[in-house]
């Protein structure tokens, strides 16, 4: 049987290389975050690429339970920065703590027409049932 997708390697070495050399457009999809139960019910979608003004709750680590708005999506480092989630440096300067997008839950989406189109496309089944 031929390979289904020749662009994806099974090799650990090649998979890691593809991950760490991924272009920004691919990193966007890798940096998806799960939706809260209410949003999942409403849109019929499990996860969506995270975006700047989404509101999230941190679900893992020492900062678990903290909530806030996403201030920046740092694609180069595969992390997001949440407002008021900072660490004091030795010199007293405050710096944002990077959090992996998979370790947060989106509680409120910033919707625009493009994002609504994504939700419509991904969760067409769930949305159609809600309307009828």
Q: What is the mean pLDDT of residues 92-104?
A: 97
Q: Is a pLDDT exceeding 60 seen at residue 128? A: no
| Residue 1: band (very low, low, confident or very high) from pLDDT cuts 50, 70, 90 | confident
Angle 113-122/124-131 helices, nearest 10 degrees?
A: 90
Q: Is a pLDDT exceeding 70 seen at residue 127? A: no
Q: What is the mean pLDDT of residues 64-73?
A: 97
- Secondary structure (H, E, C), 58-92: ECCCCCCCCEEEEEEEEHHHCEEEEEEEEEECCCC
Angle at 28 between CA 22 and CA 33, to 5 degrees: 125
Q: Is a pLDDT exceeding 90 seen at residue 30? A: yes
Q: What is the mean pLDDT of residues 73-86?
A: 97
pTM: 0.86
Res 7: pLDDT: 84
């Amino acid at each position: 049987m031929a390979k289904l997708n020749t662009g994806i390697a099974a090799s650990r070495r090649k998979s890691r290389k593809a991950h760490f050399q991924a272009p920004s457009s691919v990193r966007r999809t890798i940096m998806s975050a799960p939706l809260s139960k209410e949003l999942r019910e409403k849109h019929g979608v499990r996860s969506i690429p995270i975006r700047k003004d989404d509101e999230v709750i941190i679900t893992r680590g020492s900062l678990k339970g903290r909530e806030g708005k996403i201030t920046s999506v740092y694609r180069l480092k595969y992390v997001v920065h949440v407002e008021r989630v900072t660490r004091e440096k030795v010199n007293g300067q405050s710096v944002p703590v990077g959090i992996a997008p998979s370790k947060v839950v989106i509680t409120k989406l910033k919707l625009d027409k493009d994002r609504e189109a994504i939700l419509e496309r991904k969760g067409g089944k769930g949305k159609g049932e809600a309307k009828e």
